[in-house]
Amino acid sequence: MTTHEGVQAVVESETLEILKGKGLMTSDSLSNDWEFLNEGLDSLDLATLLIILEDKIGVDPFRQGFKSFSTIGELVELYRSSLE
Amino acid sequence: MQIAATFSIVSAEQTLTVSDLEAAAQTFAHEMEAATVWYVSPTSAFACSKALILAARHPERTIILGHDSLAHPSAVKAPLPAQSGFYTLTSGTTGAPKLIKQNIDELAGSVARSQTTDATWLLTFSPGSFASVQVIISAMVSGHIIHDPLEHDFTTIRNTFTATRPSHVSGTPSFWRNLLLFTEASNWDHLKFITLGGEICDQLLLDQLATRCPSAIIQHIYASSEAGACFAVKDGREGFPKSWLTRPPKNVKPISVSPDGELLVRKYIPNETDIEAFIQTGDLVSVGDNRVTFIGRLDHQIKVGGQLVSLEKVERCLRDIDMIKDIIIIPRSSPIVGYILSAKIVIKSNLEEDEARRELAVEIEKLPAPERPRIIEIVDFIQEGRSGKRQRLSEGDGR
């Protein structure tokens, strides 16, 4: 299971992987207020990201139902609170 | 049911003949005289054969080919049957295993009685499954030898295949794909009769088997513990002739297709013609000009972002790609889109994983978005479940 501190790096790197796979990103980092749906990701990409994050981080904040989030920072917080 | 005298079961431990079986059945019947239900644990081909002999000799008894201990993973949890007879358990591919009453004489009549007596079988199915019962009855009535690997992991079965050089082998398409992948072509010349059943058999696999084994008879069969043996297709093509829907030949059970495209099979009830006498198989078919082909299981259709996707159809599309040696699609549940697809893929051994992933990405991009596997795991081997069929349980779903 990923540590509280490690969550940020995992969320960021896996999001970058998906963006690179779609040929959408050249930068190596994403800021905390980066918004998922404004940058060319569709709902299937987002669904993929959440399943990869569940596998890597070891928890699923959405197990009890979908919680809304729009930025990287908000998603990181959801995983962090599930780890507690 | 007549058991031919030359029937025997060979394993690494021993060889057992018809007289050994008869003696074991007699001892069992004597010791269990007072029991209301006779459970025979399907631990080996020998145990299954003993149950079949008991069923033939004691039609007044309730005989269950299954474990009596509830602690056992494949224990009988279904309510006990009211009628006496011989019962097997369904594989549980589509839910909890159910008890199904079998008619031994009908089973013995439906299997291919071979004229040759020197044939040898390899049991690839887990003992106790309906498919294993069919193989054992075939060998019993024809007087053939069965090689029992005793353990039912793929490696043991493959090693037994190589060591015993059987002439007759019946297995699931998953089993045959693995055998093609993990055995040398030179080890196949002893095979005379190849049977596939239990899962969809596609044209690519039939062609690969025909190339590997040009002189063997290759047939794919459609059977289930509930519907029994329905038909065998021997023309080397996937699916079956459309004419069978209206004029089933001898040895083909009456079949039909529902308006939703589900294959229906007539249950053996004399003088019944209405739709109630048909069993819903849960298998989706496509009716073409001359051929009916299998699409997938009804319960393997999932919604991805609102669109219906057939797992088997995606597998079939991707299996056509040269670099892919084998594939299984596993649905992963998603709070956003219902499901997305993940895939376990066996790639050609001369490919590096990075290179393979790049090529795969290009091929997968050609599929409609909902049908694209999003999470790819490169594996050496795809494991079969106990029934020899692949398990597509969605991880973390608890289904």
Positive/negative CA dihedral, B298, B303, B308, B311: negative
* Cβ-Cβ contacts under 8 Å for B262 (sequence gap 6 or more): B280, B281, B282, B283, B284, B285, B298
Partner residue opposite A47 with nearest CB, options B340, B361, B396: B340
Whether B305 and A43 lie within 8 Å, measured CB to CB: yes
Backbone φ and ψ for B273, nearest 5 degrees, come out as -125, -10
Q: What is the mean pLDDT of residues B332-342?
A: 90
Residue-level pLDDT at A26: 66
Find, among B56, B48, B18, the residue nearest to B148 by Cα. B48
Q: What is the pLDDT of residues B349-367, one digit of tens each?
A: 888 999 999 999 999 999 9
Q: What is the pLDDT of residues B55-103, one digit of tens each?
A: 999 999 999 998 765 445 555 556 678 889 999 887 665 566 778 889 8
Task: Return mean pLDDT, chain B.
Answer: 88
Beta-bridge partners for B99: B89
Q: How many CA atoms lie within 13 A of B185 on its CB side?
A: 7
Q: With 60 as the cut, is the pLDDT of residue B301 above it?
A: yes
* Cβ-Cβ contacts under 8 Å for A27 (sequence gap 6 or more): none
Q: With 90 as the cut, is the pLDDT of residue B343 above it?
A: yes
Whether A46 and B342 lie within 8 Å, measured CB to CB: no
Residue of chain B nearest A59, judged by CA positions:
B396
What are the structural domains of chain B?
8-238 (3.40.50.12780), 305-378 (3.30.300.30)
Q: With 80 as the cut, is the pLDDT of residue B274 above it?
A: no
Residue of chain B nearest A61, judged by CA positions:
B335
Q: With 50 as the cut, is the pLDDT of residue A35 above it?
A: yes
> No. of H helices and E strands in chain A?
3, 0
Residues of B in contact with A49 (CB under 8 A): none
Whether B336 and A51 lie within 8 Å, measured CB to CB: no
Residue-level pLDDT at B96: 67
Residues of A in contact with B357 (CB under 8 A): none
3-state secondary structure A46-77: HHHHHHHHHHHHCCCCCCCCCCCCCEHHHHHH
| C-alpha torsion angle, residues B38, B41, B44, B48 (rounded to 10) | 30
Residue-level pLDDT at A75: 93
Continuous H helices in B165-268: 173-182, 203-212
pLDDT class of B397 with cuts at 50, 70, 90: very low
Token pair of A19, please?
A: 């963006």
* Cβ-Cβ contacts under 8 Å for B259 (sequence gap 6 or more): none
Q: What is the mean pLDDT of residues B305-327?
A: 92
Q: With 50 as the cut, is the pLDDT of residue B392 above it?
A: yes
What are the structural domains of chain A?
7-83 (1.10.1200.10)
Partner residue opposite B334 with nearest CB, options A21, A47, A65: A47
Residue of chain A nearest B303, judged by CA positions:
A44
Q: What is the pLDDT of residues B189-223, one digit of tens each?
A: 999 999 999 889 999 999 999 999 999 999 999 98
Chain A to chain B Cβ contacts (< 8 Å): 40
- The DSSP code sequence of B50-88 is HHHHHHHH-TTSEEEESBS-TTSTTB--SPPPSS-EEEE
Tokens 């960021």 -> residue: A12
Residue of chain A nearest B364, judged by CA positions:
A21
Query: Which residue would you say has higher pLDDT here, A11 or B268?
Result: A11
Tokens 């993929």 -> residue: A48
Q: Tell how strand B193-196 and strand B168-171 pair up.
A: parallel
Token pair of B113, please?
A: 């009685």
Q: With 50 as the cut, is the pLDDT of residue B284 above it?
A: yes
Residues of A in contact with B340 (CB under 8 A): 44, 47-48, 51
Q: What is the pLDDT of residues A43-75, one digit of tens each?
A: 899 999 999 999 999 988 988 777 888 899 999
Residues of B in contact with A56 (CB under 8 A): none
Residue-level pLDDT at A12: 92
Helical packing angle, B45-57 and B18-31, nearest 10°:
70
Residue of chain B nearest A48, judged by CA positions:
B374
Find, among B329, B384, B317, the residue nearest to B172 by Cα. B384
| C-alpha torsion angle, residues B399, B64, B221, B253 (rounded to 10) | -110
Rounded Cα–Cα distance for residues A77 and B257 (Å): 52
Rounded Cα–Cα distance for residues A68 and A81 (Å): 14
Beta-bridge partners for B123: B170
Are B19 and B26 a contacting pair, CB within 8 Å? no
Q: What is the mean pLDDT of residues B26-55?
A: 94
Token pair of B77, please?
A: 């949890």
Whether A51 and B334 lie within 8 Å, measured CB to CB: yes
Q: What is the mean pLDDT of residues B232-256?
A: 93
Q: What is the pLDDT of residues B137-179, one digit of tens each?
A: 999 999 999 999 999 899 999 999 999 999 999 999 999 999 9
Rounded Cα–Cα distance for residues B368 and B308 (Å): 12
Residue of chain B nearest A63, judged by CA positions:
B335
Are A52 and A11 a contacting pair, CB within 8 Å? no
Rounded Cα–Cα distance for residues B190 and B168 (Å): 9
Residues of B in contact with A19 (CB under 8 A): none
Q: How far is B332 from chain A (nearest CA, A)?
A: 8
Q: How far is B341 from chain A (nearest CA, A)?
A: 9
Task: Return mean pLDDT, chain A.
Answer: 87
Q: How far is B323 from chain A (nearest CA, A)?
A: 20
* Cβ-Cβ contacts under 8 Å for A40 (sequence gap 6 or more): A19, A22, A24
pTM: 0.83
